[in-house]
Structure 1
Amino acid sequence: MKISYTSEPGLDISRMSIRLLSAELHTGSSGELVEQHLTIPGVFIALIGGGGELIRESGGVRLERDHIYACPPESTFGLAAGAGSDLSVVILRFQLRSDNRDPADLEAIRRLYSELDGLRLNPPGHLASFCRKMHEHLASGDRMRSWRAQLDMGELLYQLLNEGKKPARDGAKHDLDRARHYMREHYKEELSIERLASVAGFSPKYFVDVFKKTYGISALDELTQIRMNQAKKLMLRSDRLLRDIAHEVGYADEFYFSRKFKQVVGMPPTAYMKKRGRRVAAYGSTALIGYMLPLGIIPYAAPLHPKWCKYYGDRYGADIPVHMNAYRQNHYKEQNMALLEQAKPELIVTSGGLEEKERARLSAIAPLIELPGDERDWKTNLAALAEALGEQAEQQLWLRRFEEKAALVRQQVQSDSAAGGRGKKVAALKLLKGKLSLFVSSGLHDTLHVELGLELAAGEAGQEFNMPVTARQLAELDADLVLLLVCQESETLASWSALKESTEWMSLPFVRDNRLRLISSEPWREYSPVAISRILDECAELLTGNCP
């Protein structure tokens, strides 16, 4: 659909075409609604009802009615409903192309997504109704209505460019955002509820109530989190006295600060500084974090991303001062090495396979500890890292606890099998871009076969295994339980939506008999001690019939 409009400087939109690829309606309640995934085409997201948050690489943003949210191609996002709230959204995936092959046009199109993001369309309710109608047209299967959806997609883009307005900075939400921003800028000062309420323009009582209702946390608790996170960074990045750090983050009394720090973090500041005294960086694979944590080491610098290592980011992000970009597992090498040069770590832990220039540049920053990768089993790699870091005692303690857990899960699985449960033979399938494969990852093999003694449908030699399967092979698959990993990228998710509704899929014996369970890339495709331990936790449910 040709658009006759010029907006972005240097970009002639009259020479562009837009094609709607899919229109998805997602509805759910509290918690994750759409898992973090990589979208290949561009995306528009419109709130239909309820409330929730859009989580992107740059952070989270609360969804508002009548606003469009744009994600450029090759970016990641996820959606979560608010606490105690329902959420309904329409996700439009589309291709936006220029007739010109000029790289400058491609960059201009990418900037256009940024310009469109957050635009408001009037009148109220129009955007939600328009997007829902597009979904209904495309889902109808009627060719004429599908064509109507294509026309509507062009019309939506035209309306956004021609009539869309950046939201005015007013209303309760923006007043609260102003107070939150004020906290981040003035956390060093004495901040009372009265002062924060004044910044927002509310009475203290109303401010307390609406802040907790909007963000799910009290204003003072959020202020405490801001201060403690800043205190952690100061402890790791400087040799300041505890008294000075307390004053730097807004506490006049260092003893009160110490008590508050222990209450929030779980240990006194002195213990935290002693435990985190070494500046050890993880460079490259996010799995390296899963080798360092069992040794009692939280990295000083590490690659983080809401899709590729959400688990580590959610739990340890605030404790890692320097965040490198883990997009597609170290896609931004130059940027990440530049961050390490600024951070000046004492040691850098990295995986094998470094390019010579990369190794030379990293070696100039700090001594390297290179783990050989998946060609050696995780226990051998953990022992090698523990020896290099002098943390053998921590390693042995962690392994002892792991072995105790593995023995308990193994006993549960064997008891369940003897009682006529799921049996001992497991097959794993992977769906990627519409193609199904029988696969075995190193983590899957070491957990299911080595630790739990289960029989695998393939790959028992310990090698990574990936073999495309036909419909006939699926129908004849000999397994008591089938695990399915659906790769989290837009093309695969679209193919999964179609596949799971097909008669052929629903007639497969393992689907019909409820012997299919979904697993996720994280942790099942990661190979590290922490990932193996997490897979073991999931196996306790998957293999004993307790999985909902």
Structure 2
Amino acid sequence: MKRTMVFLSSIYKYSKPAHAAIQRTAPAPMLVFLTRGSGLLAINGHERKLEALEPLLLLPGMSIRFQSDRGDFEYYVLILDAVGVAKQRDNRKVQLPELPAELFNSGIKLRSQQQTSERIIRLYETASQVDKFESKPERELMMQLQFQELYSTVLLELLELNRIPTSEKGMQESISYLHKHLHEKINLEQLASIAMLTPTSYSRKFKQVMGVTPFEYLADLRVKEAKAQLSLNGTSVRSVSERVGFGSEFYFSRVFKASVGISPNLYMKRHQLKIAVVACSSFDDSLRSLGIFPIANMNCFRYPGMGEAEHLGKVTRHLQTLMQLKPDLILIDRYHHEYEEPLKQIASTACLEHHADWRIALHKIAEMIGCERTEQAMLSELAQQTDDARKLLGRSVGSGSLTLMRVTHNAVRIQGAPDHPLNELLFTELGLTAGSSSPAIDHKVEMQPEQLSGLSIQSDYLFVQKLHHGPSSDQILQRMQSSPFWKKHEAVQSGRVRFIPNWYAMCWTPIGRKTIMDSLLLYTNGQQHG
């Protein structure tokens, strides 16, 4: 008989900002718990979704990569000491330990999530609070007792969950089948049979588990495989479409472009593309953050105060310039849909749709031009810079609060607290405090400068941006600066008003976010708040 005893060597806690990436090799046996967040996990190159409180056992030498998909995340790493003992008759021999298979990349989410989370936190606190115990042996004993409680509870629950639904195992087997046979013809009846479900029940269950239909998932697998094969020298679109399971080259090209944003032929040339940007969005900054410099950056949007003839002349000049530059690809945004057809006469176009998460457009661009690794490295660097800025701002600003205001051509706009990348950066990632108002503003509001006195805005800083250049915006700003609200406000009287560039546009790109952080550190330098 062989037994394995597992002890806790040490425990570490990590908190990371939204969309940070982790890549490392396990130096020792490790039990990992993601306690907040979710994302894409890859162990030795095999990818899957990782949710909070799915126990994960890593052995020495295992390569792990994790990319958060939304929001910040927190995880604990438990370094393990394991001892194997074999009993033969009256002799006991120490052997290599065998850790439970149920803990290996289980993909099973614990049911007792709150209790497990509380046990992990209590264990971490015990391991951290050295001074709480009279002696080190006492602390060590308490730490090991708490670990054994956590370890045995988790293992027993996994054993129970592994025995429960055959359909869950069948679902995993059907997904594995998709990965192994993506190049073959696959029908719903095959997959349902593997999962031991009816086709209707299988489709419904698959959508619940994976968030997409089985054939949407299969198409995504095939596109990923096609991207890898299109990167090889001497290949062709036709041969790749056949090898990854698409029966028609035309259908393959259509699915590929819908997924990636550009055609397979263009994707094969992605490292040599001449790219132009025609957008209000700062796609040019996104490209620069990936090390790519666009040959042109244009904006055809008709802003307030621009006459029809002036606007038409601007659009005509831009189109003529693009024809002379001959780009391979033109990136456009939602504000330029109406120009897509004339732009298609010049080059292939890719419209990047709007998403509340600024990283989605960045990732889409990186995917098109084959810069995914550069993207991950850059995002990791940005996460570290954000963490450094947060610490510095915590020392200089402390509990000081700030309010964002925009001066438009016809009103003053006060930014409340809706989901926006700028609010995410300032008040979540950098930990700054938003100014308070009465009545409360939970969304952006617009009003005339004279109406501001009807609001009570408590804020140590006022950050003001003039949205449009021109006499109308200048007049609105002058009226605001002459208003009782402005003259009486504590930030004005204390000299803590900052006029800022268009942070609302800049916050959508890594370069812009870095510039905002640098500006904040400059603006608040020397200002101390309790």
Q: Which TM-score tier does this pair reach, normalised by the shorter chain?
A: 0.3 to 0.5
TM-score by length of structure 1 reads 0.42
TM-score by length of structure 2 reads 0.43
Mark the structure with the bigger radius of gyration: 2
